[in-house]
Amino acid sequence: MAVAALLTLIVLVAVTVVMAREWVGADVAMFTGLATLVVAGVLDPADAVKGFANPAIVTIGVLFVVASAVQETGGLLLLTRAIFGDTRSSTRAMLRLVVPTALMSSVLNNTPIVAMFIPAVRDFAQRIGDSPSRFLMPLSFAAILGGTCTAIGTSSNLVVSAALVARGEPELGMFELSWVGVPTALAGIVYLTTAGKWLLRRRRDPAEADVEDARQYLAEVELVPDSPLVGRTVQEAGLRGLPGLFLVEIRRAAGQVVRPVAPQDRLRAGDHLVFTGLADTVKDLQGRPGLVPVDGEARADRGVYEVVLAPRSPLLGQRVKDSDFRRRYDAAILAVHRSGERIESKIGDIVLQAGDTLMLVASPGFLRAWRNSPHFVLATGVDGATPPRYRYARFSLLVVGGLVVAPALTGLPLVVVAMAALVVLLVSGAIGTRAVRQAVNWPVLVLIGSALGIAEALEQSGAARLVADLLVQGAAPLGPHVLLAATYAITACLAALVSNPAAAALVFPVAISAATAAGADPRPFAIVVAMGASAAFFTPTGVVPNLLVYGPGGYRYLDFTRVGLPLTVLGLVIAVAVVPSVWPFFP
């Protein structure tokens, strides 16, 4: 084995482990791996940065802006109003949810779609007396399935398209993936509304109006010295019998703990009041006079936000009081929710974990400043978020429709059409220049550009050919269909560990080398890489939509394995059956 190939494989394994263990952000890990290969002389600098000049990087960045415009103008909200209507049938509601979600996510980023649908889904479930867990996971899966239907449906599709262009082959057509993506999405929708529906466990809604069950949401506030509540009893202060809220204990400034709290207990300045209860009622504590978050401040211009800790957040493993949270984010933690676990400790002593939902009190700019941060997956801006500009809602949807059909009608490259859509949105005023800067998810672009650079190293060093030879030796004797299935499975498993664009970029050169070694056309293997990268249904942390619904659905980790693994296998079977008939192995 050549030294360069061995070093490239070592770096690849190290990067994969670092991303899977979430020691640092995926973009940092991937760029560090790329830099290591440059320093070691495996890649020259020009080849290393070639991925960042790829048109797909520009296209992805522009699509972030277009999706943001649709979200901020209220275009998605217009569509949600027609989703459920007044139906009370859970099966009919499931169909009315997953079909439009899949259609929208075929042309829009799935993260804002899922984030905006979560409140509507929870409200509907409460209205018909069902659990949100019966709908939120299908919502996430439908968004992921929809992304497999077009070339712009997900960033991993654009990565594969860019990699094909880099090899001198035609890019993915706008609807080329539809041949396999649409059957996969349709089969997935049937599965979700039949067998998948029965595999879904009914989990208790974390915000359900049963106080005993709602105590999983913990809030801690401080009674400031000038509060009108100082000197009053708990009963007189109106802190007894709050709907969906329970005063667990009072922690005096001198260290005394009052638990259980009696109606006649008198409040003192500096008391820390610990509540458990429903998210909406906990949020209302912010509006009560003289109550502020611990280490927070009482300011009228501060709003309430709910965020979910990302799986690669630097806050993981830190106690709240050691995280320097207020200085770092200009925000104070009002409450913490952890799915399936009752939290007994003080807010400051809580050790933060991936998937924790934090209710924050922050300035109105918090949502824009941290929306695309790898630290958080922002679930909800409760107060203080910029109101949608509805006068541009229909216009933004029309622009997206043009973005979808224009490449097929005009033959223009996708990057050109995407740039034209951006210009139209800017000139019309549907989105401002500041919003454009904030809409672009720079860590994702760094991740993809770095991954393309490492993929180049796999090619140049011979590492891709070496792994491909091993893959061919194991699977090729069993036929190209088995080789295709192995490619799909490897991509899906890697996507569950790292991210789908990174998985697509890393597996692509291996798959192409394997196809070449087997004497087959590389394109069907490229198609399977794109499909496999979107098949990480079986973990809650593999893709952002799953992480978004993890907490609000009250799910357990294995719930995703139980429902998602059969869906991954179903996608594999469809891909192996359909792809060779559309893209023959031996044309």
Range in 76-85, 147-156, 159-168 with the lowest mean pLDDT: 76-85
- Choose among 274, 297, 272: nearest CA to 286: 297
Highest mean pLDDT among 24-28, 129-133, 415-419, 471-475: 415-419
* Among the listed residues 426, 445, 424, the one whose alpha carbon sits nearest the alpha carbon of residue 435: 426
- Cα–Cα distance, 312 to 354 (Å, whole number): 8
pLDDT band at 473 (very low <50, low <70, confident <90, very high): confident
Please give the distance of CA 498 from its chain centroid, rounded to a whole number: 12
Q: Calculate mean pLDDT across residues 231-253.
A: 78
Instruction: Please state which of the ranges 206-220, 318-332, 358-372 shows the lowest mean pLDDT.
Output: 206-220
Q: What is the C-alpha to C-alpha distance for residues 541 and 524, in angstroms, rounded to an integer? A: 28
Per DSSP bridges, beta strands 291-293 and 272-277 are: unpaired
Q: Is the pLDDT score of 387 beyond 60?
A: no
Mean pLDDT (the chain) is: 80
d(CA 546, CA 559): 11
| Domain locations in the chain as residue ranges | 211-381
- pLDDT for 388 equals 56
Model confidence at 542, pLDDT cuts 50, 70, 90, reads low
Beta bridge partners of 358: 307, 336
Q: How far apart are CA 530 and CA 175, in angstroms?
A: 13
Instruction: Note the pLDDT of residue 96.
Output: 85
> In the structure encoding, which two tokens stand for residue 327, read together?
């200085």
Task: Specify the pTM.
Answer: 0.60
Is there a contact between 526 and 160 (Cβ–Cβ < 8 Å)?
yes
Mean predicted confidence (pLDDT) in 271-283: 74
Between CA 419 and CA 274 the distance in angstroms is: 51
Most confident of the ranges 71-75, 379-383, 396-400: 396-400
pLDDT exceeds 70 at position 102? yes
How long is the chain?
Answer: 587
Grade residue 537 by pLDDT with cuts at 50, 70 and 90. very high
Predicted pLDDT at 385: 40
Q: What is the pLDDT of residues 491-529, one digit of tens each?
A: 898 787 666 887 888 889 888 888 888 888 999 999 999
Using the predicted structure, report yes or no on whether residue 307 has a pLDDT greater than 50.
Answer: yes
Q: Report pLDDT for 283.
A: 66
pLDDT at 488: 94
Q: Is 50 exceeded by the pLDDT of residue 163?
A: yes
CA distances from 555 to 102, 133, 213 (A): 22, 7, 14
Q: What is the pLDDT of residue 212?
A: 41
Instruction: Give the max Cα distance, the chain.
Output: 85
At a CB cut-off of 8 Å and minimum separation 6, what does 254 contact?
none
Nearest Cα to 347, choosing from 360, 365, 363, 330? 360
Per-residue pLDDT for 405 more than 50? yes
Identify the residue whose tokens are 């207020």: 326
Q: How confident is the model at residue 312 (pLDDT cuts 50, 70, 90)?
A: confident
Angstrom distances, CA of residue 160 to CA of 47, 165, 244, 296, 530 = 18, 9, 49, 46, 6
Name which CATH class applies to 211-381: alpha beta
The predicted structure's pLDDT at residue 582: 95
**Mean pLDDT of the 469-494 span:** 83
Q: How confident is the model at residue 323 (pLDDT cuts 50, 70, 90)?
A: confident
40-55 pLDDT per residue, tens = 998 999 888 888 887 7
Q: Which pLDDT score, from 0 to 100, does residue 209 have?
A: 39
> What is the structure's pLDDT at 115?
64
Q: Is the pLDDT of residue 585 over 70?
A: yes
Confidence of residue 384 (pLDDT cuts 50, 70, 90): very low
Which has the higher per-residue pLDDT, 183 or 16? 183
Question: What residue type is assigned to position 359 of the chain?
Answer: M
As a whole number of angstroms, the distance between CA 439 and CA 67 comes to 8
Mean pLDDT of 8-22: 80
Of 537 and 302, more confident: 537
DSSP 444: H
Give the model's pLDDT for residue 70: 78
Q: How far apart are CA 516 and CA 504, in angstroms?
A: 18
Residue with more model confidence, 363 or 212: 363
| Confidence at residue 53, expressed as pLDDT on a 0 to 100 scale | 82
Average pLDDT rounded to a whole number, residues 356-377: 76
Cα 482 versus chain centre, distance? 31
CA-CA distance, 8 to 467, in Å (whole number)? 12
Token code pair at residue 479:
């036929």
Provide the sign of the torsion angle of the four alpha carbons 500, 503, 509, 512, taken in this order: negative
307 backbone dihedrals φ, ψ, rounded to 5°: -125, 155
Strand partners of residue 361: 304, 332
Kindly state the average pLDDT of the residues 309-316: 84
Beta bridge partners, 304, equal 361
What does the DSSP 8-state code read for residue 203?
A: P
Q: Kindly report which listed range (58-62, 340-344, 534-538, 566-570) carries the lowest average pLDDT score.
A: 340-344
pLDDT band at 82 (very low <50, low <70, confident <90, very high): low
Identify which of 145-159, 274-288, 351-365, 488-502 has the greatest average pLDDT. 145-159
pLDDT above 70 covers what percent of the chain? Answer: 82
What is the structure's pLDDT at 90?
73
546-565 pLDDT, tens per residue? 866 876 788 877 888 899 99
Residue 20's pLDDT band (cuts 50, 70, 90): low
